[in-house]
Amino acid sequence: MLRILHDTKYDFIRHWKKAAILTIAWIIIGLGFLAFHGVNYSIEFTGGTLVQLQFKHPPHVDDIRAVVDQAGFPNSEITKFGSDTEYTVRAQPHAGVATAAGDSAANIIQAALKSRYDGDVSFGRSEFVGPRVGAELRYKAAIAVLISFVVTLIYLAVRFQWRFGLAAVIATAHDVLTTLAFMAMLRLEVSLTVVAAILTVIGYSLNDTIIIFDRVRENLKKQRRESLRDVLNRSINETLPRSVLTHATTLAATLALLFFAGEVIRPFAWIMAFGIFTGTFSSIYVAGALLLWIERKWPRATSVEGKGEARAMAEERRRSRAEGAVVSR
């Protein structure tokens, strides 16, 4: 059987302050990008028409924009879609466009581009989403994320004590914020596929946190003379081999999607690849540090059933007082 990182004794909790500074800086930078550029919603959320173009020779973006503007769709978004010969046109609904019977916005745009580029352009997929449908999808996507948090909270409240559950939920919220910051930095388009990726990251990170907290709970019940900090470090080290193997295999599959699956699935792969890193980071440095802080802030009462937890908390308080005395000197 393959055994890696067996019986390690890394002090992960020791670096929680550096990790906190790093993740807060990351979120602030991402929110700055988001405030400056805004959310890059896909046509599924904004409504409008999308046409995918394939040219034989690389065109000038300004020429494409001029043709689309003349067709009656000003301020359309022209973006490169993979290579230098592939582009997408996103045109917002424009009430002033006179259309013949049965003509759609996509047909008008395609006819204008055929007239300009003749046989040098071919067309791939075309989509149309009405503004009302786009707004409804945006609303339902937000509801889906909120429901996932509520269900997560209920599950953790049942499986763990509230201290564990609160730490896990905050760590999961951290993953959402860091992922949104990542999306803002890369200007990834927010589509239904991206929402599915965010929900997948939430579940993936939460699973990793639950595995570590399960081991913490088991180690607390052993009633060893250890502080809660030592129990957390030991639990993370004991689950480290499983975490490394799981994350490595998941990342390999995600990278395969990222490099070989094409442009449509690439935003999903980007978010999943980042989610593996931020999920691992939060399970170790965010959830563990938060649990330690919560236990110090609201220490549990000593009970027959919780001798291990009480002993760990007492040891933690003794350790905190000793560290405070050293600092005051």
Last residue of a domain, one of 111, 129, 147: 129
pTM greater than 0.75: no
Angle at 18 between CA 15 and CA 24, to 5 degrees: 135
Residue 3 forms part of a structural domain: no
Residue 49 sits at φ, ψ, to 5 deg, of -120, 135
Q: Is residue 4 part of a domain?
A: no
Q: Is residue 96 located within the same domain as residue 158?
A: no
For residues 214 and 97, state if they share a domain: no
Q: What is the pLDDT of residues 178-216, one digit of tens each?
A: 999 999 998 888 888 888 888 888 888 888 888 888 888
Backbone angles phi, psi at 273, to 5 degrees: -60, -45
- 125 sits in the region (left: phi over 0; alpha: psi -120 to 50; else beta) called beta
Q: Which of 95, 112, 129 is the last residue of a domain?
A: 129
Percentage of the chain beyond pLDDT 90 is: 10
Integer-rounded Cα radius of gyration of the chain: 26
In a domain, 143, yes or no: yes
**3-class secondary structure, 6:** coil
At residue 22, the pLDDT reads: 92
**Chain segment 212-271, per-residue pLDDT in tens:** 888 888 888 776 677 888 888 888 888 888 888 888 898 999 999 888 877 778 888 999
Helices (H), 40-161: 43-46, 61-70, 105-117, 131-159
Which pLDDT score, from 0 to 100, does residue 265 have? 83
Residue 193 maps to a domain: yes
Q: What is the pLDDT of residue 307?
A: 54
Residues 124 and 248 in one domain: no
CA atoms within 13 A on the CB side of 214: 9
Q: Half-sphere exposure of 36 toward its Cβ, with a 13 Å CA cutoff?
A: 10
CATH for 320: 1.20.1640.10
Burial 192-229 (b: 16+ CB within 10 A, else e): ebbbebbbebbebbbebbbbbbebbbebbeeeeebbbb
Q: How confident is residue 99, by pLDDT bands cut at 50, 70 and 90?
A: very low
Tokens of 22: 């790093």
The closest alpha carbon to 323, from 291, 292, 284, belongs to 292
Range(s) of the domain holding residue 248: 13-40+134-328
In a domain, 2, yes or no: no
- The domain total for the chain is 2
CATH of the domain at 80: 3.30.70
Is the separation of the CB atoms in 271 and 197 below 8 Å? Answer: yes
Phi and psi (nearest 5°) for 3? Answer: -130, 120
